[in-house]
Amino acid sequence: MVLVTLDMPQKSANVLTEQMFADLDQAWDEIDKVAADIRGVVIQSAKEKIFVAGADLVRIANTLDWSDQEIVKFCEDGRKIFARFKSNPFPVVAAIRGACVGGGFELALWCDLRVASNDRRTVLGLPETKLGLVPGWAGTCMLPRLIGVSAAARMTALAKLIDSTTALELGAVSQVVEAENLVSAAVDLIESEIQSQNFVAARKKMLAARETTDDLQQIKNDLIPQIHATDDVDNVAAQIVLEHMIDTANDDFQTACRGESTAMTHVYGSDNCAGLLNSFFLNERARKSGAAIVAESKPPEIKTIGIVGCGQMGAGLVELSLKAGYSVIAFDRTPEVLEKLKEIVAPQADDSKLSIAGDLAAFSDCDLIIESILEDTDEKRELFQQMSEIVRDDAIISTNTSVIPLADLESSAGGPQRFVGFHFCSPIAQSRLVEVIRGSQTHNDSVAAIINVTRNFRKTPIVMNDGPGFIVNRLLSPYFEEAHRVIQGGNTLEEIDDAMREYGFPLGPFEMMDLIGNDVVYHAGKMRYVRNPESVFLSPLIPKVIKAEYLGHKNGIGYYDYSNFDLNSLPQQKAPANAAMVDLIDEYTTSTDKLDSETIQLRLTYAMLQEACAILDEGIVDDVRDIDLCLQLGLGYPANKGGLLFWSDWKEIGAAVEQMKQFDKIEQDSRFAPHQRLLDMVQANTKFYSSRS
């Protein structure tokens, strides 16, 4: 018996890199030399959590410009090496423990049989359509022959992962055993196969043409609506792989493989593929965000959190803290707010660890203070001054401000070393992003403690330097301002929001303002205007919106009317426009020259691009990927575009600059005059991303 162990040293996961393929090829060279003495081969992984994670995505991301011939060769080269598993007169069994997905599942499918552990981390599937790709190493050809076209097409098109029990029920694996019994079970299977020679017949059957009993047209009819109804996969790739699997369902194996290669040429290097790959890398970065800071620091342990200000955001912070297991002391100067707090929190979290404070003195023994009062600099300073005299010297004081620089507040906190920005995005329950802002003197231990709390909240911390609006609100402001310019130019609410939904945002800008709260948007805009009146557009419409109390979700009426609308149905459903708001907009419309959807999309995204350049110039972040991460996690920037700065690279900076120059000629107010950074990049032929990976 031969045991082949897959193990990439110093890596948490095995990946099918060029080196891994070369090593497999070399291993089979050695096996071939003594094939006459071998009864069977077991392939296992040295990793407990991941059998094989799949293809080398870094290599794919850096070869998106391959020709069709190169893409086909990539597919054929992988199949050629895997085909060696079936080239000898003995059975090969995969002993699967942990995630066996993508190319890793294809490797297992090339084995004659598969044994899987009953570990909850053991999952199998072909999730390539999540990345705008299709399987390329015969997964689409083998899986239907194993479990039927219907189940295989559903798993592949919808990128469904299955556990080992389901895999056994479908026929994708032969046995499910305890992890420690995997190899012995595989050996027993080999002995059984040697006796029965079933594996020889199965190999011949796999290569032959066949007549499936599945209703192919019905499978297609059933799956296409499901593809369009899900946000989990790229619709284009999913439909292409479905068409391929239906079209080749009765073909012989080699013909089906050629069809798979052709399907890959249709998606490899597409816009969606490029964007989704970069989004994957961004999410991998997000998983590790802040880890280096924590490793290099000695963060204090946080057990008790004090929350000051228990409105909509503060109540969300109380709930998050309780769910994460912290003891919470909550205070608000408005008694009615505190009365509502327990009603809001009790159904969602264990409130036995919640104490309602009568005054600030109750915070004397808190480890962390989170301030979440109104966006008023003077009020915040006064509060921090009071808190600094009450809390312990080693307590961390943080602010949930969305726009005020820490530099304007830190001197009141009784020691800038312990003062940190801790900004949560709305809606707090759904948004994954937390901006962790480092002041000019903030100690790394304080930052590390906030990172740990954020992780315990099951959120993603992105650490950045101080500056007005930080990243999310800094980019939102010009985006919202441009939306108001467009609406005053003659386009309707629906036209603007639909254009940005079409671009890929879950909500349009006016829908997003209603979600955040139009009063919050108004106050943020005012503060931005006070700091830089020359570059900020304050629409005369916004004060009228506030005066009419069109605040959005919080009171059921904003740009849209939510009085008879289920907010939980967003973003799949759209609320009707507020009729009175439409009349109000008409009063401030200055033109009837409507813009088409593409122009609306360009104007709103270019407004953010200009601001992103300023953020980079000011050193708010050290890495361009953090801007794209904040946009995706905080604002729902479409994953299939990979991030604002990535997408600008992919569609060519020079093209954006030329289009912005055209807008600048029309608008004549310099807001679209390309930022100097963009001009320099065109001149030097450089990109925001130095590498696609």
pLDDT level of residue 80 (50, 70, 90 thresholds)? very high
Q: What is the pLDDT of residue 349?
A: 67
How far apart (Å, rounded) are the C-alpha atoms in residues 526 and 302? Answer: 35
Peptide bond into 468 cis (omega under 30): no
Q: What is the pLDDT of residue 659?
A: 97
Q: Which residue has the tokens 């980079």?
A: 616
- Kindly list the strands in the beta sheet with 433-438, ordered across the sheet, starting from the edge strand earlier in the chain: 354-356, 327-331, 304-308, 368-371, 396-399, 419-424, 433-438, 460-465
Q: What is the CB neighbour count within 10 angstroms for residue 633?
A: 23
Q: What is the DSSP letter of 362?
A: G
Bridging pattern class, strands 123-125 and 162-163: antiparallel
For residue 79, count other CB atoms closer than 10 A to its CB: 18
pLDDT at 348: 66
Is 606 within 8 Å of 562 (Cβ atoms)? no
Residue 249's pLDDT band, with cuts at 50, 70 and 90, is: very high
What count of residues does the chain have?
Answer: 693
Helical axes 597-617 vs 676-684, angle rounded to 10°: 90
- Give the residues across from 6 on adjacent strands: 45
Strands 396-399 and 433-438: unpaired
Residue 80, beta-bridge partner list: none
Token pair for 548: 């009419």
DSSP letter string, 294-360: HHTS-PPP--EEEEE--SHHHHHHHHHHHHTT-EEEEE-S-HHHHHHHHHHHTTTS-GGGEEE-SSG
CA atoms within 13 A on the CB side of 449: 27
Rounded to 10 degrees, what is the CA torsion of 146, 227, 263, 651?
-150
Task: Using alpha carbons, select from 221, 99, 226, 107 the residue that is nearest to residue 157.
Answer: 226
pLDDT attached to residue 33: 96
Percent of the chain surpassing pLDDT 90:
89
Report the distance separating Cα 640 and Cα 273, nearest Å.
7
| Cα distance between residue 61 and residue 78, in whole Å | 17
Please state whether the predicted TM-score (pTM) of the whole model is above 0.85: yes
CA dihedral for 123, 126, 129, 132, sign (positive or negative): positive
Query: Is 426:517 a contact under the CB 8 Å cutoff?
Result: yes
Give every CB contact of residue 588 below 8 A, 6+ residues apart in sequence: 488, 539, 540, 541, 544
Q: In what order do the strands lie in the sheet with 41-45?
A: 2-6, 41-45, 92-96, 113-117, 175-177
Q: Please, which residues bridge with residue 327 across strands? A: 304
User: For the segment 586-607, what is each residue's pLDDT rounded down to a tens digit?
Assistant: 998 988 789 999 999 999 999 9
Q: Which of 541, 534, 630 is nearest to 590 (CA)?
A: 541
What is the phi/psi pair of residue 590, to 5°? -105, -5
Least confident residue range of 366-380, 531-545, 654-668: 531-545
Confidence of residue 693 (pLDDT cuts 50, 70, 90): very low
CA dist 687 → 564, 654, 690 (Å):
48, 10, 6
- Cis upstream peptide for 127 (omega within 30°): no
Each residue of 655-692: pLDDT tens digit? 999 999 999 999 888 999 999 999 999 999 999 997 54
Residue type, 158: L
What is the mean predicted confidence (pLDDT) over 246-267? Answer: 97
Buried b (16+ CB within 10 A) or exposed e, 19-52: ebbeebeebbeebeeeeeebebbbbbbebeebbb
pLDDT of 146 over the 50 cut: yes
DSSP 8-state symbol, 368:
E
Kindly report, residue by residue over 340-366, the tens digit of the pLDDT. Answer: 887 777 666 677 899 999 999 999 999
Q: How far is CA 296 from CA 299, 390, 438, 573, in A?
A: 9, 30, 16, 46
**pLDDT tens profile 476-503:** 999 999 999 999 999 999 999 999 999 9
> What one-character-per-residue DSSP string does 47-75 give?
-SSEEE--B-HHHHHTTTT--HHHHHHHH
pLDDT in tens, 453-480: 999 999 999 999 999 999 999 999 999 9
CB 55 within 8 A of CB 107: no
Nearest to 291 by CA among 466, 451, 459, 453: 451
Distance CA 159, CA 603 (A): 35
Distance CA 291, CA 445 (A): 12
Q: Within 13 Å and on the Cβ side, how many CA atoms surround 7?
A: 9
Rounded average pLDDT over 204-211: 90
pLDDT digits (tens, 9 = 90+) for 302-319: 999 999 999 989 999 999
Distance between CA 430 and CA 318 in Å, rounded? 15
Residues 318-339 have pLDDT tens digits of 999 999 999 999 999 998 898 8
Residue 529 in this model has a pLDDT that exceeds 90: no
Instruction: Tell me what the mean pLDDT of segment 8-27 comes to.
Output: 95
**Which of 109, 112, 138 has the alpha carbon at shortest distance from 124?**
109
Confidence of residue 536 (pLDDT cuts 50, 70, 90): confident
Q: Between 414 and 16, where is the model more confident?
A: 16
For 134: left if phi > 0, alpha if psi spans -120 to 50, otherwise beta; the answer is beta
534: pLDDT strictly greater than 50: yes
Active site residues: 106, 128
